[in-house]
Amino acid sequence: MTNLSDTAPGADAPSNSADWRFFLPISAGSNVLLVTNHGEDIARYFEKLGIRTTIYNNDSSTGPDVEFTKQKSADFENEFSPPGGHSLFDVVAIPHGLPEYLLSRGETPQIDVYQKIKQALNPRGALLIGFSNSLRLGRAARPFVNFYATPQGMIGLLRKAGYPSVEIYGAIPDLNVPDYIFSLNKHEIGFVLEHRYRYKIPAWVLKLLTTSFVAGSLSGFFPFYYAVAYPDILK
């Protein structure tokens, strides 16, 4: 589990949280593809940490210190080649979900995209993708996130695409700047509920929610998640 206080000394934290990097095989010298229209500040932050970063989006503007790959939206499914002869990507991060135009086409194009990404990944690398819970109420919610799924649904899609190891993390309150990113086990869920809601709901309700049995049953009902998929079986 991590939160926004876990940033590297001497580096300015981005306005969009990049705390999900702590769950990935990413460090100085890593080669990262960042797929989002809202990630220039994340890319600059990564560059300061010595992480080689390529942005893939539909916006022609970028800073001079960020390596930039611009593709048309219609080419998204087909263009996942590492730029400039670089090695395979260590991480492909899609923190705000797949482009909306692609989601309307159904399950098969999504699987095709994940398969193409896998071909561009280091065998010990990882794909990260953020999504909103399709079971949540009031789905019109947060900016930048148009991708709805359930945790089990995402696991199923990624395994069909050839990723044998998939991990799901909850995110509260959103994917833009989450206060908490956490594994979906009863202990971490209980910890997050206790620390986030201890002044917001009656103590007896909080005590009930943080019991192991109840906390464990809530894993499918958080508003947002990250899926982390590995092209190889984790050892």
Place of tokens 């048309």: 72
Mean pLDDT over 189-204 rounds to 75
Bond into 231 cis (ω within 30)? no
Q: Which two tokens stand for residue 117?
A: 């990404």
The verdict on pTM exceeding 0.85 is no
Of the two residues 208 and 39, the one the predictor is more confident about is 39
Query: What are the angstrom distances between the C-alpha of 148 and each of 24, 99, 102?
Result: 22, 11, 12
**pLDDT surpasses 60 at 195:** yes
Q: Which two tokens stand for residue 164?
A: 């044998």
C-alpha–C-alpha distance, residues 86 and 73, integer Å = 23
Mean pLDDT over 77-96 rounds to 75
Q: What is the pLDDT of residues 35-66, one digit of tens each?
A: 887 778 888 889 889 998 888 765 444 443 44
Q: What is the pLDDT of residues 140-190, one digit of tens each?
A: 445 556 678 899 999 999 999 999 999 999 999 888 888 999 998 888 888
Helix (H, G, I), strand (E, B) or coil at 168: strand
What does the DSSP assignment read for 83-103?
Answer: GGGPPPEEEEEETT-S-HHHH
